[in-house]
Amino acid sequence: MRLRNNTVCNQSVYAKVVGSVPTREFITIVGEATLELDDDVWLEKYEEVSQHLLDAGTLEITKAPKLTDEQVKEIQDKKVAAARKLLAEVDKKTGK
């Protein structure tokens, strides 16, 4: 996977804390640069704790990690649930 830092400043992201043991692992993406990272490392350690930076647009995923079968199924299930909810709302409005 590949990350891009959209700011001029370096950005560091600490790895997710597992259990009660604090971690000192982190990645630093140099300002206006990209960083290639192993998919497993991203998904296991950094994806969850980097979400706020991705939402803010300061970090951008330019090459997405390959999803596991479980993640693909979870995404599909969410899309099906959203579609069913939308259909139910339409049925209520049309009286079906």
pLDDT per residue, tens digit, the chain (96 aa), is: 999 999 999 999 998 887 777 668 899 999 999 999 998 899 889 999 999 999 999 999 999 888 788 888 988 999 999 999 999 998 888 876
The C-alpha angle with vertex 23 and arms to 13 and 9, in degrees rounded to 5, equals 20
Q: Which two tokens stand for residue 82?
A: 């959203």
**What phi and psi values does residue 6 have, to the nearest 5 degrees?**
-90, 10
Find the distance separating the first CA and the last CA of the chain, reported in whole Å: 46
Q: Yes or no: say if 35 and 65 are a contact pair by the CB < 8 Å rule.
A: no
